[in-house]
């Protein structure tokens, strides 16, 4: 089966524990992080993760992460990689 | 990284800030198998066919929307022009009974649409560019009642084509139908009179499932005026050739998203993927406006001199970018300049920057014609017919689709509210001189010659 990836973007006000809580959700769902970039600019936390869904349901992941995002006070977007592939790769 | 941070953030910005969305996923359904000479049988078969074919449409579209984090604003159904099914039904019926038969079918479409939870269903339509059949006459006569007694049904009538000319008898009828229908103004927002109507248009009110289409098909209408405007604003000091290049690149990205959604929706529903309609469809919210794109190009107000040229550049660049993005482009594919549905257009009318005549000129370089144009309530049926005839002439001679969606209500200076995506608009003024004697001649304006040589 072809690998299915999702792109997770997180932004909000920086504070300890954002990455930890998100990666916990991913570990619980057996989702592997393939790439991660994170910056803090003027207290604004931005993180982009590329994850291998390994058969996990993207809608379920969205539900779980939106709850995490609400608790952490950050905005989390989960999108299937194809929208980026279609838009940015010919 | 698989994608650069800039690429990922660009996509997210397009959706979150610039209102990039899929304007409509429209499921075309063939109803020809529902034919019978008994109106009750036809109505039941139509209801069953629509419900069974489209029952998963909304659910699957919602799931695709979540998967990509991309709004799919409308989910809709387009069916075989109902006039085809009315032919057998109305044989031997009185005019009154024939109208009732049409309305009965419209109500059954309406019930099915509500059951599957879509906002509009298109295809209460007739193709009469060369002449009328019994069914098409009955359908046209029944349009005001059918629209009044339903909520979701959209109607369209094709009165002209490049190959057959303009059926002025039909143009006369449509002037009358629009006048009668306008007793409830919203009816006219659900009624389009076409020249060269495309068989695979996903946009309402003019969507129907035309000849040559498969049993069921997914057609996608993209959006994105906000995204294009942002690009035009970013490159403010470049020449127009460079500007066109930038619009093309962005249009490619927008159309790719349509292609992705179209293919996935078709696969999920187990039907054919039809086309992407590359039209830039505005919405009556700030920034999602085609008029604002022209203004970002350097015009003080949309409608001023230069607007036709700017719109021609925009439409062409959008098509060129989109053509690279999808193998199957169809529908209307241009830039929509509806007045009420585009806040920037409505504002241009209010400021006196644009009038009906300039709108007509602009429709010669884009789609879909005079769209959501409000004219005074006392505009005569003949004047409406003459406006339709002019628009048809532009379509027929230039070998393109043009349509008229005109709403006679209120008086000059009034503001008319339609609500939701239909927006609001000032009432435009119409010419003061009479066209009735020309229009009343009727008959068919012959098809234009395509080439004198070769």
Whether the ω angle into residue B96 lies within 30 degrees of 0, i.e. cis, is no
Cβ distance of A83 and B260 shorter than 8 Å? yes
Both tokens assigned to B267: 């696969």
DSSP-based helix, strand, coil % in chain A, nearest 5: 35, 40, 25
- Domain holding B379, by residue range, is 21-443
- Model confidence over B396-443: pLDDT tens digits? 999 999 999 999 999 988 999 998 888 999 999 999 999 999 999 999
Indicate the residue of B2, B7, B260 with minimum beta-carbon distance to A35.
B2
Residue B166 lies in a domain: yes
Distance CA(A23)–CA(B336), nearest Å, equals 45
Per-residue model confidence as pLDDT tens digits over B105-148 = 999 999 999 999 999 999 999 999 999 999 999 999 999 999 99
Q: Which chain A residues touch B259 with a CB distance below 8 Å?
A: 86
CA distances from B332 to B201, B203, B347 (A): 6, 8, 25
Tally the domains of chain B: 1
Give the pLDDT confidence of B156-201 residue by residue, as tens digits: 999 999 999 999 999 999 999 999 999 999 999 999 999 999 999 9
**B269 close to B78: Cβ distance less than 8 angstroms:** no
- Please check whether residue B8 touches A, CB under 8 A: yes
Work out the average pLDDT over B328-334: 88
Distances (CA, A) of B423 to B343, B347, B374, B418: 8, 12, 12, 5
* Average pLDDT estimate for B216-233: 92
Q: Which two tokens stand for residue B231?
A: 């690009």
pTM: 0.93
pLDDT tens across A39-67, in order?
A: 888 888 999 999 999 889 999 999 999 99
- Does the beta-carbon distance from A87 to B67 stay under 8 Å? no
List the domain boundaries for chain A. Answer: 5-88
B66·A58 Cβ contact <8 A: yes
Do A49 and A8 form a contact (C-beta atoms < 8 A)?
yes
Q: Which of A86, A89, A90 to mutate to test the interface with B (most CBs of B within 10 A)?
A: A86
A5-88: which CATH number, 3.20.20.150, 3.40.50.300, 1.10.8.590, 3.30.70.260?
3.30.70.260
* CATH code for position B97: 3.20.70.20
Distance CA B149, CA B45 (A): 20
């Amino acid at each position: 089966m072809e690998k299915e990836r999702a792109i997770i973007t997180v932004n909000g006000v920086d504070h300890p524990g954002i990455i930890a809580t998100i990666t916990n959700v991913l570990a619980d769902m057996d989702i592997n992080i393939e790439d991660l970039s994170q910056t803090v600019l003027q207290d604004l936390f931005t993180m982009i993760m590329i994850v291998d869904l390994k058969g996990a349901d993207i809608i379920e992941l969205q539900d779980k992460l939106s709850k995490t995002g609400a608790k952490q006070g950050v905005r989390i977007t989960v999108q299937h990689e194809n929208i980026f592939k279609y838009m940015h790769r010919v | 990284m698989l994608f650069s941070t800039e690429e990922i953030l660009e996509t997210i910005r397009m959706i979150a800030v610039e209102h990039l969305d899929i304007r409509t996923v429209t499921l075309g359904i063939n109803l020809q198998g529902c034919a019978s000479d008994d109106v009750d049988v036809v109505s039941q078969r139509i209801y069953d066919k629509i419900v069974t074919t489209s029952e998963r449409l909304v659910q699957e579209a919602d799931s695709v929307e979540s998967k990509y984090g991309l709004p799919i604003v409308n989910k809709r159904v387009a069916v075989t022009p109902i006039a085809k099914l009315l032919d057998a039904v109305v044989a031997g019926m009185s005019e009154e009974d024939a109208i009732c038969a049409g309305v009965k079918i419209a109500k059954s479409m309406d019930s099915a649409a509500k059951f599957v939870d879509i906002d509009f269903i298109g295809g209460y339509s007739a193709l009469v560019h060369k002449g009328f059949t019994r069914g098409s006459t009955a359908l046209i006569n029944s349009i005001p009642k059918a629209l009044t007694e339903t909520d979701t049904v959209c109607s369209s009538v094709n009165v002209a084509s490049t190959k057959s000319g303009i059926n002025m008898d039909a143009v006369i009828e449509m002037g009358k139908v629009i006048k009668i229908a306008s007793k409830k103004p919203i009816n006219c927002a659900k009624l389009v009179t076409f020249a060269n109507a495309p068989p695979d248009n996903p946009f309402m009110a003019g969507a129907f499932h035309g000849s040559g289409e498969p049993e069921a098909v997914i057609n996608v209408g993209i959006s994105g005026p906000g995204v294009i405007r942002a690009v035009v604003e970013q490159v403010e000091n470049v020449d127009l050739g460079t500007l066109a290049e930038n619009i093309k690149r962005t249009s490619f990205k927008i159309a790719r998203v349509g292609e992705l959604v179209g293919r996935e929706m078709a696969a999920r529903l187990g039907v054919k993927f039809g086309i992407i309609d590359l039209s830039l469809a505005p919405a009556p919210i700030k920034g999602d406006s085609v008029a604002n794109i022209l203004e970002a190009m350097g015009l003080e107000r949309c409608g001023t001199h230069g607007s036709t040229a700017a719109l021609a550049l925009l439409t062409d660049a959008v098509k060129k970018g989109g053509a690279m993005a999808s193998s199957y482009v169809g529908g209307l594919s241009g830039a929509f300049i509806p007045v009420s549905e585009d806040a920037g257009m409505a504002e241009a009318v209010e400021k006196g920057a644009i009038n009906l005549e300039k709108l007509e000129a602009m429709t010669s370089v884009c789609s879909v014609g005079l769209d959501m144009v409000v004219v005074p309530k006392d505009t005569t049926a003949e004047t409406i017919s003459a406006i339709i005839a002019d628009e048809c002439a532009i379509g027929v001679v230039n070998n393109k689709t043009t349509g008229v969606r005109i709403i006679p209500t209120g008086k000059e200076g009034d503001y008319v509210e339609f609500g939701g995506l239909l927006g609001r608009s000032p009432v435009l003024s119409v010419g003061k001189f009479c066209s009735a004697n020309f229009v009343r001649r009727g008959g068919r304006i012959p098809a234009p010659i395509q080439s004198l040589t070769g």
